[in-house]
Chain A
Amino acid sequence: MLTANRLIDGTVLYWRGGGWVETLGEADVFAEPQTADAALAAAKDFVTRNVVVNPYLFEVKDGRPVAEREIIRAAGPSVRRDLGKQADV
């Protein structure tokens, strides 16, 4: 998957179909490294246009991030379930 932060407010974003969405569940999963790299290259254009900062790829398995860092980033602080994206679910 591909993620970044929105410049204006820092919100965590995910890549979907050439643009950005706010929830991980809606995001594209890249089965092939080439597709992922192409998306990352395309995301750089959004950096240039000052829409997002710091785009990068991360690993998922069965649609769920492998690293704890990305699980927390997708949900919000595990110690404050009332905050972050998890609060809207």
Chain B
Amino acid sequence: MYRYDEFDARFVAERTEQFRFQVERRLKGELSEDQFKPFRLMNGLYLQLHAYMLRIAVPYGTLSAPQLRMLAHIARKYDRGYGHFTTRQNLQFNWPKLKDVPDILAELATVEMHAIQTSGNCVRNVTSDHFAGADAEEVEDPRPVAELIRQWSSLHPEFSFLGRKFKIAVTASGHDRTALRYHDAGVEIVKNSDGRVGYRIYVGGGMGRTPYLSYVVAEFIEKPDLLAYLEAILRVFNESGRRDNIYKARIKILAHTLGVTAMRDRIEREFAEIKAAGTLEVPEKECARIEAYFAPPAFADLPETALPTGGALGDWVTSNTHPHRVRGYTIVTISLKPIGGVPGDASHEQLDGLAALLDDFSLGELRVSHEQNLVLPHVRIKDLPALHERLTALGLATPNAGLITDLICCPGLDYCDLANARSITIAQEISKRFADGARQHEIGDLKIKISGCVNACGHHHAGHIGILGVDKKGVEYYQLLIGGSAAEDASIGEILGPGFGEHEIADAVERVVDAYLKLRQPGERFLETSRRLGLEPFRTAAYGEQRDGAD
């Protein structure tokens, strides 16, 4: 994985000391809250319902054992013993004290981590495929490109005060695991007809109160031109994006107001200027330097090995492993969705325990997925029984990856200052409702995504079944959406109708799922059935017994 060079280390150390000075000035009263807020946000520090919240960047979702141990240490020493993995591959601590944050950042810097640009109106943490470097179908490992973008966008002088935040995802697989088309800009690594590797670029996706899928603005950008093209996109956004209304300030609004032709023309004009100047051509040498950090680990030459079957181990292997590109290896998803638990939470004991597993079972690497799970990318198939035993002891062997109880949700009103309704409690109720493993496998691939407000951190627009919490005169209600997808078949879910009460929503979800089981054709996933039949049968099922809704 990538290691800081001298510049990176100095940059993070200086930034940590700079923030320490800003906190000292704030506590002495030399800075007002209005003056201090932009500084703390640029360092990932929010003030939430109960306390401050620190969001730590996990660039492209890759973590090492020392980094995991540091996160466990911070959870113990400065927080309440746990962390929360988010839908953008980051980790949040929910209880840090402002006075401790500079020390936390200093400790993070010792393992090459930070919280820079995890908030604020800037280019946010670059996300990528959590199976990168292991998936059999990828064109090439997308993480060197994500790292290149991270370096270019960190403290970029022109783009540190954008009209609104800007999120970039990078994928290299035909199976999109990054929610690419819901990002402000998406980079898909592709091969052209000559077999040359380059980039298909998407612009204008986003969730929030006005969801849009991005569209393609460039079918094939050559490797040396990537940063010039991204810079052109950001320039168009910076110059023409709205700043008068926070809800219309994302690039999705500009992109879909201008339309693809005008947007592409604007970007191409900027691109031509930047390219002519020649200042942003990506040096081959620098690419090679970064790529070297992501060189494949030393895989052993293993014989073809059958996956274990039968019993609890077999159930777990069926749902939580994915084919690896190297013979004898597999990719393991560690579900952070125990039945009835809090999606995405991990205790300091679990973080430490995982760190101990990495060298033994996964060539030293762990990944964070945007679906709030963890991934061991390089596991020998013959090690699966031993790994399963160790994960079971840590409470991390829930056999539900990709099934209905592998739902994602934001922190909601239990923690978040922006939320209108709780989301975790709804996730827990649904999880318990569908706890039976055989029933989960009968239902198959069904993604439920829950947000506690229109900001959509729980990706409700992209759920096969989405749930949006709303507030009606201080009371929580929940809208049901059907038909969304964040994958390569991306779509935006549609609202079924009036909202359900807190104690009605799980029943409504169950009725919708039961209707699907009756209506599906052989081999048809929930998403396909809903696309074939439309909303009506699910609306009928959902509202069959529901009485008192909220618009």
Contact = CB atoms under 8 A, between A and B. Distances in A.
Interface of A: 5, 7-12, 47, 49-50, 53-54, 66-69, 72-73, 76-80, 83-84
Given A69-B419, A77-B50, 12 more contacts: A7-B33, A8-B97, A53-B47, A68-B475, A68-B476, A72-B414, A77-B424, A78-B414, A78-B425, A79-B342, A83-B50, A83-B80
Nearest to B428: A79
Contacts of A68: 413, 421-422, 471, 474-476
A79 B424 CA distance: 7
B372 to A, nearest CB: 15
A47 B33 contact: yes
B49 interface: yes
A68 to B, nearest CB: 6
B414 A50 contact: no
A50 to B, nearest CB: 4
B26 interface: yes
B29 A11 contact: no
Contact of B27 (A50, A67, A78): A50
Nearest to B31: A50
Which 9 pairs between the two chains have the least Cβ-Cβ distance?
A: A67-B474, A9-B97, A10-B51, A77-B414, A10-B52, A50-B29, A79-B424, A53-B33, A73-B49
A29 B95 CA distance: 28
Contacts of A73: 49-50
Residue in B27, B50, B414 with the greatest tally of chain A CB atoms within 10 Å: B50
A77 to B, nearest CB: 4
B413 A69 contact: yes
A12 B50 CA distance: 6
A37 to B, nearest CB: 21
Contact of A50 (B26, B428, B474): B26
B475 A5 contact: no
Contacts of B99: 8-9
B98 interface: yes
B543 interface: no
A10 B95 CA distance: 8
21 contacts: A5-B51, A7-B26, A8-B97, A9-B52, A50-B29, A53-B47, A66-B474, A67-B474, A68-B422, A68-B474, A68-B476, A69-B413, A72-B49, A72-B413, A72-B422, A73-B49, A73-B50, A79-B414, A79-B424, A80-B342, A83-B50
B39 interface: no
Contacts of B80: 83
B51 A9 contact: yes
Nearest to A9: B97
Contacts of B52: 9-10
A12 B49 CA distance: 8
